[in-house]
Amino acid sequence: MEGKVLAVSGGIYRILNSQKTIITCKPRGIFRHHNKKPLVGDQVILDDENMIVQIKERKNVLIRPTIANLDFAFVVTSLKEPDFSSLLLDKFLSMLSLNNVETVIILSKYDLVKEDNIAMIVDSYQSLGYKVIRYSKKTQEGLKEIKAMMKDKTVAFIGQTGVGKSSLINLIDPNYNRAVGEYSLALGRGKHQTKEVVIFPYGEGYLADTPGFSSLELQCFKEDLARCFPSFSHYVNECYFTDCLHQNEKNCKVKEHLQSGKISKEHYQNYLTLLKDLPYRKDRY
């Protein structure tokens, strides 16, 4: 029998099987010998004893949040409380690009910010090829568009703690009744409520709620970021050096487009900030 992993807790897996029944089970010990384990979002094969014996080929995998087989991810970033950060958003977009996950940006709490400021952010990321949705819990603007994009897809809501992921999921379908944390003005961040990655069936697809991040570390090399950073994806193959880091190398197309204004100085500065904390590949000469 085949099934989909909806959640994992304490080594116990909740599976939606091919008969549309949710069951609990464990994986066979063979996975430990191969240093591999089923993940939320995996399609798995169960034996007659309802033990997981096989993980089907994955479309993609995220390590944090740990989930597999996404059609795309919604990155939810608030415009206020917590304040918008292009650096954090660029970090999320780089992580998802690195793992071949298509991304849609949701700007939450838009009713708390002046329209002129929102338009600048929207234009900036639309110019990079991203779909950007304005969303407000108060007015529910953007909700219909978000729900339409989810049709028959497996999607995850990812973002910083306190940006409103769980409250948005509750609006999409109140039956989910996810724990929603109030934003804490004293702490300057959201009270973390979602503790684990959980997938819910939604129509003919699936919806994943994920833990919020108080911080996010990129798990890659400098050379990886140079290729997956959102501002650079259209130009990296044009650079003279295949491992160009877009700093002081000659004939760097990224730097050329920076000078011409096709790449914004803000995004480039975000890139340099992220780059300095990453290691080089060991085989780099």
CA 267 – CA 273 distance, rounded (Å)? 10
**Helical axes 265-275 vs 253-260, angle rounded to 10°:** 140
73 and 127 together in one domain: yes
Pair of tokens at residue 204: 């003919």
CA 80 – CA 111 distance, rounded (Å)? 9
Burial (0-12, 13-18, 19+ Cβ within 10 Å), 103: buried
> What local confidence, expressed as pLDDT, does residue 140 receive?
93
153 and 75 together in one domain: yes
CATH code for position 186: 3.40.50.300
Pair of tokens at residue 251: 């004939």
Q: Show which of 174, 209, 244 is a domain's final residue.
A: 209
> What local confidence, expressed as pLDDT, does residue 110 receive?
87
> What local confidence, expressed as pLDDT, does residue 187 receive?
32
217: in domain = no
Beta bridge pairs of residue 67: 62
CATH code for position 252: 1.10.40.50
CA angle, residues 83, 219, 234, in degrees to nearest 5: 75
> What local confidence, expressed as pLDDT, does residue 131 receive?
96
253: in domain = yes
Q: pLDDT below 70 — which residues of the chain?
A: 176-195, 213-215, 283-285
Q: Give how many domains the chain has, as a whole number.
A: 3
Give me the amino acid identity at 66: T
Give me the amino acid identity at 265: K
> What local confidence, expressed as pLDDT, does residue 174 receive?
79
The runs of H, that is alpha helices, within the chain are 30-33, 86-98, 115-126, 143-149, 165-172, 222-228, 253-260, 265-275
> What local confidence, expressed as pLDDT, does residue 96 receive?
94
Structural domain harbouring 190:
62-209
Q: Show which of 209, 232, 249 is a domain's final residue.
A: 209
Residue among 54, 112, 96 at smallest CA distance from 210:
96
CA 115 – CA 82 distance, rounded (Å)? 18
215: in domain = no
Give the single-character DSSP code of 236: G
44: in domain = yes
